Amino acid sequence: MIAGVVLAGGKGVRMKSSLPKLFHNLLGKPIIRYVLDNLSELKLNKTILVIPPNQEGDFRKVVEDLETKKDQKIEIVYVFQEEPLGTGDALRRAMPELEGFDTVLVVNGDAPLITDEIFKGLLDSYRDDVSAVVLSTILDDPMHYGRVIKNKDGNVIKIVEAKDASEEEREIKEVNTGAYCFSVEDLKAAIEKIDNNNAQEEYYITQLVEILNRMGKKVISCQTDLGSLALGINSRLDLALATRKLLQEKLERLMDEGVTIVSPENTYIEIDVSVGKDTVIEPFSVLKGSTVVGERCIIGPSTYLLNAYIGNECEIFYSVIKNSKIESNVRVGPFAHIRDGTHIKSHSAIGDFVEVKKSTIGSYTKALHLSYLGDAEIGEKVNIGAGTITCNYDGKTKHKTTIEDEAFIGSNTCLRAPIKIGRGAITGAGSVVLKDVEPGTTVVGVPARPIERKPKEEGGKSE
């Protein structure tokens, strides 16, 4: 049986942030989520999270989100490290949870780019005559990372921190990534022998390599070609480099699936975003969260989508859409703002400087200029004139505006909610409507009052 231990108790001081390092956003998800996601692909029998006690709630939210996405229960055990006394101390605290297990995979919570395939390779390198496997990588400039020191047989005999390395050892380019596979039986014996006789007075996992060698056990390495990206995120620069790699991979996948991205270097698309084939993403567009874009759309330029659903054959340009649904064959923009809870139905058009919030816009309805539509239920084939405002807030409560099918709302109309405009009703330009308008009625003025419509003349229009 195989268990996983995630070391997630570090302070992340180099991030210089009040937010714990592992919860920083990496292309739409917290750093720790990638690690847990990759481990979940391994189908481990148990995953143990070693965390600070005051962060349990945050970690549980991440796990719940992962379980929701995968539609399965993931067995996570939480172990608390009250004081950050080093990686060795963190692993030692997890040992009681390893009873009955043969093998344990130990990883850092800040290494999101070590994929499940790399972890599988690390586990596959483990064999009966080996006590531990160290995941390593090669760096042209190893800098301050721990060097992997081997004997003439190629076995790992120790890991030396750069500051403690000799001149000869500093020339070694193979470095430790912080991921390991251990025999649980040998680990139990070795971990009791680690000490904190160092400048930081902390217990380090790397010391286990020397201890296992003194016990006559064999330690080997398994190399990944990730380079410095395998070494975890310790600073804002590391976060930016990881984002750049994941973003490049995301854009390449979308293009392979039939999406045109006009300027990849000027496009940001988060990891969980879905885009249909033959859609074109114009430059300076940002697609975030759980956004779904259908086929044959044009998105952008300069468009921001957050948790948005966009149907097929839509055109969204120079606009912002958040937490809303746009059906197929809809045109939005330029400079429209579609806010939370909005549903725009097919063949509608929302034009320049129109803001829509928590409203439903019916099919074939148009609001093309300079309007605010909040808390509104608008039917089909409605014309919203320029400057229309649903006055939905009385200072204490939001109220609903209902506009039925085929109504015509004249320019600069103010609709004081709660209010209902009946089917086929008309409001004259500049009207301030304080009362419900009956179907087929025309109202004008301040406050608006009904007037009689003149019969439609042949070849002309009714008044």
Report, as residue numbers or ranges, the catalytic residues: 369
Angle in degrees, CA 450, 452, 456, rounded to 5:
135
Give me 397's structure tokens. Answer: 């409560």
Cα 9 to the center of its chain, rounded Å: 22
Note the Cα 444 to chain centre separation in Å. Answer: 49
Give the integer Cα–Cα distance in Å for 26 and 95. Answer: 30
DSSP state of 130: -
Token couple for 401: 């505006």
Token pair of 278 as six digits: 């033959």
- Return phi, psi of residue 167, to 5°: -60, -45
Residue where the block lists tokens 């209010």 = 419
Query: CA separation (Å) from 452 to 167, 424, 433, 443?
Result: 98, 14, 17, 9
d(CA 181, CA 364): 61
Scanning the structure block, which residue is given the tokens 């130990």? 106
**Read out DSSP for 381-439?**
T-EE-TT-EEE-B-SS-B--EEE-TT-EE-TT-EEESSEEE-TT-EE-TT-EE-S-B-T
Partners of residue 22 on adjacent β-strands: none
